Amino acid sequence: MNYEASIFPISISDGQEEHIFPLNHLRTAIEYVTGAHVFLVDMEKRHILCSETFQKEYFQQFTAGYYTLDNLYSIIYERDRDKASHLFSTLLRGKAHKRSIDIRLNTHHDEKLSWVSLRCKAVKSHRQETFLVCALIPSTQMPHIDELTQIKNAAAFSRVVKDYIHEKKSFALMLLNISNFSMINYQHSRHYGDTVLINFASYLSNLLSQDEANQCFRTSGNTFALILRDSSPQNINIIYSSIKKHLHLMYNINAAFCSCNYPENASTLEELIQLSDYLLIQARRREINGIVSYDETTENSFSNYRLLQSNLRHSIDNNFRGFYLVYQPYINVQKNKLIGAEALARYTDEQGNAISPEKFIPIIENMKMMCEFGRWIVREAIKALQQFSAIFPDMVVNINISHEQLNDKHLFDYIMNTANEFGVDPSQIELEFTEHFLSKEYTYINSAIEKIHKKGVLIAMDDFGTGYSSLGFLKDINVDIVKIDKIFVKNFMNDEVKKFFLECIISLCKKLKRKTILEGIEHHDEYMAIRSLGIDMVQGYYYSRPRPFESIIDFIKNQHQND
């Protein structure tokens, strides 16, 4: 019997007259107007009436002339089949007239699962037979599913946590952030990095699926959230150990982990999110071999964190009150003369307490305000450069550009517009990026950087030698300045490996016509030794600490008068 060709009547009443339609015509009409994969289920016979499009998408491996619920169950991920069966039986028994669940499908038997939303509504025929009007909504049309990994996303995470809190369900929240994930993209490719995320998300789903009360989410690029109904320390440690072992064995990478419990550690969604973000910052900062959890020492430090977060938000909302820039000079080694200065952000709260950038920068990042903050830095630095140039026309100001700022696709236009506004030559602006942002995989970033580079803006590569670097990489990137990390300064005169490495970098950069600058010079003997290696520029406390605006003005005047 071919269900697709059969004409089953279904009646619809408007209260005055009964209208009878061929069932397959009604199905086609519904599918057309919804744009989803619609099918009808005869619950008495367990037969499915579906379109040719549906057959090709989901039932391609079946050769039967008609299809049954067993065919549908066979393409549903085995751990989700009971959930689907329970939905159908609930509707059949009349316990509900419509339901929606999220399930995973494996339609090609390739172990790649795809999320869909299964939506069903029960209707009765004139003989009181139960039919279900159903639709499968793919993940691309599901705003709560992460398109890459096919697990739930940040929006779903917020929704689930809200529901749990509303229902007063206790649970543990674990966050994990894969460390140095950009290194994976650089060393291999962006496609490989995506594959790692997809496979890792699948691993998390399988790990937690043993208990349906557990759920996992991808809340941002390389950060995942886990909701665990068993919040005991023993269960947390088992999950943590399993994930850590998997990451090490499969990819040889590490992750920062943190956990907290509801309602013991936080009573609202906002407080829970703030607490977990705070704990993850601590885990990433400490780089410890373990999981950072809420304990008796956390309460006071978390209270201070929330106060600082509130103060920072208030400061930013009030024209960045309390923020200011300092400038650390760097010099031409051979001439022992000032060339430029690096702009560095500082913050003092309303009580007069100086707050370290190591504290306030991660909080601004978590508040998703780094783009706005970055624009303020750009404007303040270029405005100051206008006054520096009046004293020293060749003065250059270095501005750090963070990864978060690169999400601002109008950043480089803003830089050029600001330079025009203050009458600053673009060649006096130096933008500093860490090395992995300049890798070939970042197509948009490199094309945007190249455009602004052609207009005269200088490009500096920071952190060379701290983990991403290879000497061969230098020939592939178009930068003006290579900044060698200060880790190579400490004891380099007594460390032949460090000294040889520095000599190689300096020699190669000279051949490639790249300027070199070494950070962290603090003593006279270090300065003299690095000078003998032919370095172009140095920066460090030996020459000058970071200076406020008024002080750097005096410093430039003194340098200019001595020329």
Whether residue 59 is predicted with pLDDT greater than 60 in this model: the reply is yes
3-state secondary structure of 84: helix
Q: What is the pLDDT of residue 558?
A: 87
Determine whether 174 is exposed, middle or buried from the number of CB atoms within 10 Å of its CB (0-12, 13-18, 19+): buried
Which letter, b or e, does each residue of 205-224 get, where b requires 16 or more Cβ atoms within 10 Å of its Cβ? Answer: bebbbeeeebbbbbbeebbb
Task: Give the number of other CB atoms < 10 A from CB of residue 403.
Answer: 16
pLDDT the model gives residue 441: 45
Cβ atoms of 341 and 328 within 8 Å: the answer is yes
Mean pLDDT of the 296-311 span: 88
Q: How far apart are CA 287 and CA 291, in angstroms?
A: 10
Q: With cut-offs at 50, 70 and 90, classify the pLDDT of residue 1.
A: very low
The mean of the pLDDT values for the chain is 83
DSSP reduced 3-state for 8? coil
Instruction: Work out the average pLDDT over 316-342.
Output: 94
pLDDT value, residue 464 = 73
- Place 472 in a pLDDT band, splitting at 50, 70 and 90: low
Closest of 269, 244, 186 to residue 442, by C-alpha:
186
Instruction: Give the per-residue pLDDT at 287.
Output: 63
Q: What is the pLDDT of residue 142?
A: 62
Q: How many CB atoms lie within 10 A of CB 434?
A: 18
Q: Given a cut of 80, is residue 107 above it in pLDDT?
A: no
Token pair 């150990």 in the structure block, residue: 241
Sequence length of the chain is 563
Average pLDDT over residues 170-178: 95
Q: How confident is the model at residue 11 (pLDDT cuts 50, 70, 90)?
A: low
Phi, psi angle pair for 485, to nearest 5°: -65, 150
| Amino acid 465: pLDDT | 62
Give the dihedral sign, CA 417/418/424/430.
negative
**pLDDT at 458 exceeding the cut of 90:** yes
258: its two tokens: 């943190």
Cα-Cα end-to-end distance for the chain:
98
- Statement: residue 386 has pLDDT above 80: yes
**pLDDT greater at residue 96 or residue 219:** 219
Q: Give the tens place of pLDDT for each residue, 32-55.
A: 545 567 888 888 888 888 877 788
pLDDT of 7 > 50? The answer is no
Q: What percent of the chain has pLDDT over 90?
A: 37
Taking alpha carbons only, the member of 206, 187, 488, 515 closest to residue 331 is: 515
- Between CA 553 and CA 288 the distance in angstroms is 43
- Residue 259 CB neighbours (<10 A): 26
Give me the residue label for tokens 């990042």. 365
Kindly state the average pLDDT of the residues 83-91: 86
For 234-272, the three-class secondary structure string (H helix, E strand, C coil) is HHHHHHHHHHHHHHHHHHCCCEEEEEEEECCCCCCHHHH
Beta bridge partners of 153: 218
Which carries the bigger pLDDT value, residue 459 or residue 493? 459
* The model's pTM: 0.68
Identity of the highest mean pLDDT range in 14-28, 390-404, 488-502: 390-404
CB 4 within 8 A of CB 117: no
Provide the pLDDT for residue 19. 52
517 Cβ contact partners less than 8 Å away, ≥ 6 residues apart: 330, 460, 481, 482, 483, 484, 535, 536, 537, 538, 539
Task: List beta partners, residue 516.
Answer: 482
pLDDT of residue 36: 61
The whole-number pLDDT of residue 237 equals: 94
Q: Is the distance from CB of 537 to CB of 516 less than 8 angstroms?
A: yes
Q: What number is the average pLDDT over the span 175-200?
A: 82
